Chain A
Amino acid sequence: MIQRLIRIFITNSLKMISLLLAVSIISFILVCASPIDPVQQYIFSLGTAVSPQQRAEIEEYWGVNEPPVERYLNWLGEVLKGNLGESAIYRRPVADIIGQRFLNSLALMISAWILSGLIGFALGCVMGLYQDRALDKILKKICYILSSIPTFWLGLLFLLIFSVWLGWFPSGFSSPIGVLSENVTVWQKIHHLILPALTLSLMSFSNIALHTRQKLIDVLHREYAQFARARGEGKWMLLRRHGLRNIMLPALTLQFASFAELFGGSVLAENVFSYPGLGSAVSAAGLNSDVPLLLGVTLLSTLFVCIGNMIANILYGIVDPQIREVHK
């Protein structure tokens, strides 16, 4: 068992490293091929006029005129040393920005992730237990509707209702404006987190709910569920004794594999709520041609999604032996 898990871990790590390399190469090529001119952008952000002479010096200093392969290797070498370069718009090392923003994003994503997992799982169980009854039909419709609504639209709707009309939640940022960051309380941070997290989780729970529903229905149609009924177990007892046991791990696995969607959704949610996380950083970097920041975030998000998938794979590894032995 342990050996199996270690093997899964190693193969996944190797896959992750090669994927990271591939992603870095592809994004590097894309940036090279794009009309973005980092030098022009840099000069523009200096706010002063620059002579062609000075521009040539900057280009020389940055190594813009070297062949792309050499540039890539240089960049990769620096990345491996932990230097992601300096952000053109924030004027700070990319690693710092990412580090700080990632914490914000992580708080947002984790709370949305837990929320969507809990809501989705609970709703899925209820729908499965009441299959094809009114309750199930209504919840299913809600799930379909929610999963077809765009995140930013839902975010705007929430902003309008909860922060503009009702005034329950602030309309943006991760802490109150005009308060020094040392003085921001945890509660204030949470208060700012609720609306974006809710938006993000509403977007993703329907997937897990529908999946859990289907799994539970499968389980309830299995012979062992039929036998449990024959022994006098009611709906909820059946769920407690056999349902949860048999659907929990697949649901968890799915939830970990959803990191990619979570990240994609957070980009939109953070922009709607002006939440200072990676998502808003990445769109700012894209709009302002901040190449080092863009590449840095790309790498980090790849890593993030890969880790999610790796956890999912390891979980499969735990479930798998039992399933395989049963079918033997």
Chain B
Amino acid sequence: MEQKKDALLKIQNLSVSFRRYNHGLEQENLQVVSDLDLTVYPGEIVAIAGSSGSGKSILASAILGILPNNAKVDGNLYFKGETLTPQLQQQLRGTKIALVPQSIAFLDPLMKIGKQVDGHRRPKPVQTRKALFARFGLPQEIQYLYPFQLSGGMARRVLVSTALISDAELILADEPTPGMSLDQALEALQMFREIADQGKGVVLITHDLDLAFEFADRVAVFYAGTTVETAPASDFKKGPDALRHPYSKALWHALPQNGFHPIEGFQPYAGNLPPACLFAPRCPYATEKCRTQAPLLREVRGGEVRCYYGA
């Protein structure tokens, strides 16, 4: 793949843990993300799917470098081939990498929309904002409104505008669809498709798996803070046989249109992770090896899988 050279974002072996004190004395490290790998190319949407608690939202904060002080980050992050150092992250936040937050709780309740969309950088991108509002069919007058005065649909487009007003090349969208009707969700995802088609990279963090693979190019499946599989979105449409990891297959079977077969057991909590393969306790194919030695990510049929037996 000659694309590989100019990956927009490349994450290798990312681990994030939080320091926590037990009863004020013992220090404990809570591992929330372990050995996570992800690559995003320009012009594509990579959906990150997984249930809540799988470390999806922490990933966005880790890329932006805005994790709380008690977080410890290991691993390699690259943006267009350059190592993402804290200094570089600071430069890129809001300029080259932009976050689309999930709800209007992420807007300052006491600041007017116009000022809020413009952001803090100078000169104020007033013209860009006007063009964006026009493009999204937002009335220009809403710049004088407060967030609570927006309708749900407007709020969503305003949130996307906050990201597009910068010339960000990488857009991180955190759970943009929950609570939306199907129409609204489709509209929102269509917006991201257009953004990606303009050559930007989009990371779509979501647990609406079926919506995600309609619009995404690739889907990364998260489980307990790691990527268990990365596959072309088309594989998810084809069905479980095209998928590589037992958990991805289980997710597929859990979808309503595929019979809604939930998978037994619970996702392990940070601080209580299995020693080797994180999925082993729930995996029907688990062997002794799976419980003692963590599987590495390997390429299988144009995707990647973290399983000894996935094929």
Contact = CB atoms under 8 A, between A and B. Distances in A.
Interface in B159-197: 162, 166
Interface string A219-238: 00011101111111110010
B120 A231 contact: yes
Interface stretch (A109-117, A184-192, A320-328): A320-328
A322 B98 CA distance: 28
Interface stretch (B29-37, B105-113, B227-235): B105-113
A2 B95 CA distance: 42
A131 to B, nearest CB: 9
Contact of B109 (A234, A237, A326): A326
Contact of B120 (A232, A323, A328): A232
Contact of A230 (B64, B110, B147, B149): B64
A224 B120 CA distance: 14
B128 interface: no
Given A241-B120, A328-B148, A231 B98 contact: yes
Which of A228, A241, A242 is the most central at the interface, judged by chain B CB atoms within 10 Å of its CB? A228
Which of B90, B94, B95 is the most central at the interface, judged by chain A CB atoms within 10 Å of its CB? B94
Nearest to A224: B108
Contacts of A326: 109, 147-148
B121 interface: yes
Nearest to B121: A232
A246 interface: yes
A223 B111 contact: no
Contacts of B120: 228, 231-233, 237, 241
A245 interface: yes
Interface string A230-256: 111110010001100110000000000
Given A230-B64, A231-B99, A246-B110, A223 B105 contact: yes
Tier of interface size on chain B: 20 to 34
Contacts of A222: 105
B45 to A, nearest CB: 19
A237 B146 CA distance: 20
B106 A325 contact: no
User: At the interface, is chain A mostly helix, strand, loop or mixed?
Assistant: helix
Contact of A232 (B61, B90, B146, B147): B90
Contacts of A226: 66, 106
B93 interface: yes
A232 B93 contact: yes
Nearest to B102: A223
Given A230-B94, A231-B94, A322-B146, A242 B66 contact: no
Given A223-B105, A223-B106, A237-B120, A230 B148 contact: no
B121 A224 contact: no
Contact of B99 (A230, A242, A245, A328): A230
Nearest to A242: B108
Nearest to A219: B108
A241 B111 contact: yes
A326 B149 CA distance: 8
B119 interface: yes
Interface in B56-71: 60-61, 64, 66
Contacts of B125: none
B268 interface: no
A230 B108 contact: no
A224 B105 contact: yes
B53 to A, nearest CB: 19
Given A230-B66, A232-B120, A325 B148 contact: yes
Contacts of A229: 64, 66, 93
A227 B148 contact: no
B54 to A, nearest CB: 20
A237 B119 CA distance: 11
Nearest to B119: A231
B146 A230 contact: no
B101 interface: yes
A325 B166 CA distance: 30
A222 B121 CA distance: 21
A228 B94 CA distance: 9
Nearest to B165: A231
Given A232-B95, A328-B148, A227 B111 contact: no
Contacts of A230: 60-61, 64, 66, 93-94, 98-99, 101
A241 B99 contact: no
Given A230-B99, A232-B121, A322 B108 contact: no
B14 to A, nearest CB: 18
A228 B105 CA distance: 12
Nearest to B63: A230
Contacts of B107: 224, 227
Nearest to B92: A232
Contacts of A246: 108-110
A326 B105 CA distance: 9
Nearest to A221: B68
A328 B149 CA distance: 10
Contacts of A231: 93-94, 98-99, 119-120, 162, 166
5 contacts: A231-B119, A231-B120, A232-B90, A245-B108, A322-B110
Given A224-B105, A246-B110, A328-B148, 12 more contacts: A223-B105, A224-B108, A226-B66, A227-B101, A230-B60, A230-B94, A230-B99, A231-B98, A233-B120, A325-B148, A325-B149, A326-B147
Interface of B: 60-61, 64, 66, 90, 93-95, 98-99, 101, 103, 105-111, 119-121, 146-149, 162, 166
Interface of A: 222-224, 226-234, 237, 241-242, 245-246, 322-323, 325-326, 328
